[in-house]
Structure 1
Amino acid sequence: MYSQQPFIQTELWKHGPVPGQFYNFPGTNQSTANFGGFSAAGQSGTQHSSSPMTTGTSVIGVKFDGGVMIAADNLISYGSLARYQDVQRVFKINEKTIIGAGGDFADFQSLKRSIDQKMVEDMCYQDDIDMKPKSLYNWLTRVLYNRRSRFNPLWLEMVVGGMQDGEPFLGHVDLRGRAYEDNVVATGFGKHFALPLVREQISNGEVLSQSEASQVLRKCMEVLYYRDCRAISKYSVAVSTAQGTIVQGPFEVSQNWELATMINGY
């Protein structure tokens, strides 16, 4: 049998970490850190959140003939609790740009303050130059990738749309800074339930009209309400055209629960 010998620090490891203990490298944060509610002063660096609490679910964006629509329901969940049921998650940035946010709503509020400050600066210059949707889209990729690279990501999935030099623009950015442009984009459960519905409508290559885009978004929000337990029946829609941008709603999806009477335990 092997006998267990106590660990003795040699000269080589004189200033190194002791096995089984935390170690602060030179230049790191020595302030108090919390571990499971207990204070452990000087035993770790900055702690980052990897489990957001106040979250929004799917956002869906669609191009149509002459513009872009982005839709999202009005629920912010606190964990599994449908806590805030009248919170708008689609926004007008300026007359050319709209945005929708899924994920941690507190992270989005922090990001939105920076965007709002940029809009104030644009107004103060009074040079008729506004942030275009592709500029905001590219800026978001840099911000989200930067935070991801620091292992402190903004827990967000963003949909950016608007009119770029007279043409509709629609893009998606996730918390790792990955981005793509398409005629239809979605976040969360919308990737699985909404994208097939929209692509079915545009499978023949035809461009949707504004009324057709509104109807297909309504159908998507209805399906998500039935299938996503973090969604509610109330939703808002942001619309961007050459004439400007507007946020419409809230709207109510159609509901039919007659089938539920056939399920045991209903």
Structure 2
Amino acid sequence: MEWATVFSGSNEGSVGTERGSERTLNPYVTGTSVLGLKYKDGVILAADMGGSYGSTLRYKNVERIKSIGKHTLLGASGEVSDFQEILRYLDELIIYDNMWDDENSLGPKEVHNYLTRVMYNRRNKFDPLFNSLVVGGVKNGQKYLGMVGMIGTHYEDNHVATGFGNHLARPLMRAEWHEDMSFEEAVKLLEKCLLVLLYRDRSAINKFQIAKITEEGMTISEPYALKTFWGFLAFQNPTKGAEGSW
């Protein structure tokens, strides 16, 4: 049977076969920046809960930080449906690993390496997953934090960010991060970064989750909002002094 278009709201978004498989040709519902950093006792991740349909903030309850196995947290920017596909891959991987029953479990480094290969493999098939991923965790007392891009680019660092966070949040992290940060200091720094992103990124919303992972376990917070102030003069007249603006 010839390839057929799978209609899911638009005939341009995905194509599939008679078996019902689909490919993301363009990102439709997307999430914005994810931030992560190491602190004294573990790793902490933060993201808002917005899902944008194009330039419209359509969904406001999208959880973009998930636990993977016993030792890892995963945060995702980009296409939400592709993130769901990645979570399905990881569920299968964790179940397969548990079936060995060897008292060992996958740690954040293994998950990071696996996702790097998955993203690079899909890129080589010209069928990429439209996501940037932050992987953080603690295993055997070792903290781990890394990032994976949609074409398989990857790195490890003491603090990472995706999307606009690479441009707006990481300079703040470079200036204020230090290795023996307490949890409270880490949260304060992340909230400062989230506030900057909220002011400057049109896709960000004032509804956030923060997740932490230590040797004792992991916790993902309930959604909460930050106190904002929109009375800055630059916000009241953003085009003042901009030649050629309206």
The verdict on how the C-alpha distance between 1:31 and 1:219 changes in structure 2, with shifts beyond 3 A counting, is: same
Question: 1:207-258 CA distances to partner (integer Å, 9 max, x unpaired)?
Answer: 3221111110111111111110000011111111011111112121121122
Equivalent position to 2:175, from 200, 224, 235: 200
**Alignment map for 1:66-145 (pairs within 5 Å):** 66-145=41-120
Tell me how far 1:79 sits from its aligned partner: 0.8
Question: 1:179-206 CA distances to partner (integer Å, 9 max, x unpaired)?
Answer: 100000000000011101111113xx54
Task: Using structure 2 for the length normalisation, give the TM-score.
Answer: 0.84
1:53 matched to 2:53: no
Equivalent position to 2:3, from 28, 31, 40: 31
Let me know the Cα RMSD of the aligned residues: 2.5
Q: Which residue of 2 aligns with 1:233?
A: 206
Tell me how far 1:126 sits from its aligned partner: 4.2
Whole-Å Cα distance in 2 between the matches of residues 75 and 33 of structure 1? 29
Q: Which residue of 2 aligns with 1:173?
A: 148
Give unpaired runs (5+ residues) of structure 2: 13-20, 239-246
Letter in 1 for 2:218: T
Question: 1:71-120 CA distances to partner (integer Å, 9 max, x unpaired)?
Answer: 11000111111011011101111331111000111001011012122333
Tell me how far 1:53 sits from its aligned partner: 0.6
The structure having more radius of gyration, on CA atoms, is 1
Whole-Å Cα distance in 2 between the matches of residues 245 and 94 of structure 1? 10
Please say if residues 134 and 164 of structure 1, whose CA atoms lie closer than 8 Å, have aligned partners that are also in contact: no
Task: Using structure 1 for the length normalisation, give the TM-score.
Answer: 0.78
The structure 1 segments of at least 4 consecutive aligned residues displaced by more than 2 Å after TM superposition are 29-34, 46-51, 117-128, 258-265
Whole-Å Cα distance in 1 between the matches of residues 52 and 11 of structure 2? 23
Tell me how far 1:121 sits from its aligned partner: 3.6
Alignment identity in percent? 41
Letter in 2 for 1:235: F
Whole-Å Cα distance in 1 between the matches of residues 97 and 210 of structure 2? 25
- Greater shift after overlay, 245-254 or 148-157? 245-254
Q: Please state whether the residue corresponding to 2:144 is helix, strand or coil.
A: strand
Question: 1:116-148 CA distances to partner (integer Å, 9 max, x unpaired)?
Answer: 223334445544322100000000010000000
Whole-Å Cα distance in 1 between the matches of residues 38 and 234 of structure 2? 38
Q: Which residue of 1 aligns with 2:243?
A: none
